[in-house]
């Protein structure tokens, strides 16, 4: 019998998730700028260059591909300022690897979106939504408009990509990808960070983050229960006692003796004696 192989399926595995309906208890070095807004049900940020400000939550590092999704509502973005949020190492420096940061920044006199990746050997890969930064039309964001951001890291293909939609109507705004030279390891925090940003001193970006979902997919082999085979039951042989018919031995039937035979014999004998006597 040929048995077909079991097909593997995948399931979503959540690594971190929050909708900020409760206090997420993030760690920050400036609680007056980075805090949970209970009324809004979102996390407030106020990023300023040159302050080394941050807010983060530790996560269990995964040596696998993953997806990071979140909502962001920029309310005020100064020229030359930048909001950066992503997955990073313990020092959270935007210029050191390994890290993957998304950006909503105001540079070159336009509010643009971007993706910034630094590998373990500190090779920088970045792409932006301005036509000068990627092979496409310039795409910008607006303060006061909520956006949904999706970032994927594909370990097997060494690709990181980003997709940004306007949240109210799910309209695509911008997206692109980066080819990396190696895999990323030891990214242990989700963080909003200005650590390492020394060129935008006094410039700030303010807004809210919401609905964070960090997850991966794993192959799962379903439990297959072998069909129960009932033993084949054969009918029990019934032994019957066989009685063979008894055949009687053959019977020899003799003819009844003839009463005249001895008389004739005596007569013949007498005649023979008489004949012999006369000869003498």
Q: Which of 85-94, 116-125, 144-153, 194-203 has the lowest mean pLDDT?
A: 194-203
Structural domain total, the chain: 1
Stretch 72-98: mean pLDDT: 95
Confidence at residue 101, expressed as pLDDT on a 0 to 100 scale:
98
The answer on pLDDT for 256 being more than 70 is no
Residue 229 in any domain: the answer is no
Residue 186 in any domain: the answer is yes
What is the total residue count of the chain?
A: 280
Residue 85 in any domain: the answer is yes
* Residue-range definition of the domain harbouring residue 147: 16-220
Query: Is residue 153 within 8 Å of 184, Cβ to Cβ?
Result: yes
Q: Which of 109-123, 184-198, 227-241 has the lowest mean pLDDT?
A: 227-241
The answer on pLDDT for 179 being more than 50 is yes
Residue 251 in any domain: the answer is no
Confidence at residue 235, expressed as pLDDT on a 0 to 100 scale:
52
Query: Closest by alpha carbon to 89, among 190, 165, 218?
Result: 190
DSSP assigned state of 201: B
Kindly report the pTM of this predicted structure. Answer: 0.76
CATH number at residue 209: 2.60.120.200
- In terms of pLDDT, which residue wins out, 101 or 243? 101
Residue 31 in any domain: the answer is yes
Tokens of 239: 């032994």
- The H or E element containing residue 144 is none
Residue 46 in any domain: the answer is yes
């Amino acid at each position: 019998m040929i048995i077909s192989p079991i097909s593997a399926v995948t399931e979503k595995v959540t690594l971190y998730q929050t909708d900020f309906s409760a206090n997420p208890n993030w760690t920050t070095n400036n609680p007056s700028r980075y805090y949970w807004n209970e009324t809004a049900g979102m996390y407030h940020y106020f990023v300023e260059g040159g302050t080394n400000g941050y807010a983060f939550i530790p996560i269990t590092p995964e040596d696998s591909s993953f997806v990071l999704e979140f909502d962001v509502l920029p309310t005020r973005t100064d020229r030359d300022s930048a909001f950066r949020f992503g997955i990073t190492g313990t020092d959270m420096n935007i210029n050191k690897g390994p890290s993957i940061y998304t950006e909503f920044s105001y540079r070159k006199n336009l509010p643009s979106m971007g993706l910034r990746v630094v590998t373990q050997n500190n090779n920088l890969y970045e792409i932006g939504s301005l036509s000068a930064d990627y092979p496409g039309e310039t795409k910008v964001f607006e303060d006061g408009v909520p956006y949904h951001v999706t970032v994927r890291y594909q370990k097997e293909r060494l690709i990181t990509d980003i997709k940004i939609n306007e949240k109210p109507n799910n309209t695509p705004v911008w997206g692109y990808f980066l080819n990396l030279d190696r895999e990323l390891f030891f990214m242990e925090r989700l963080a909003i960070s200005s650590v390492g940003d020394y060129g935008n001193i006094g410039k700030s970006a303010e807004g809210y983050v919401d609905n964070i979902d960090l997850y991966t997919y794993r192959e799962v082999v379903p439990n297959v229960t072998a069909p129960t085979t009932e033993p084949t039951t054969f009918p029990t042989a019934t032994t019957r006692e066989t009685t063979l018919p008894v055949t009687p031995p053959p019977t020899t039937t003799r003819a009844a003796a003839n009463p005249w035979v001895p008389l004739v014999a005596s007569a013949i004998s007498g005649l023979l004696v008489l004949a012999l006597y006369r000869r003498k």
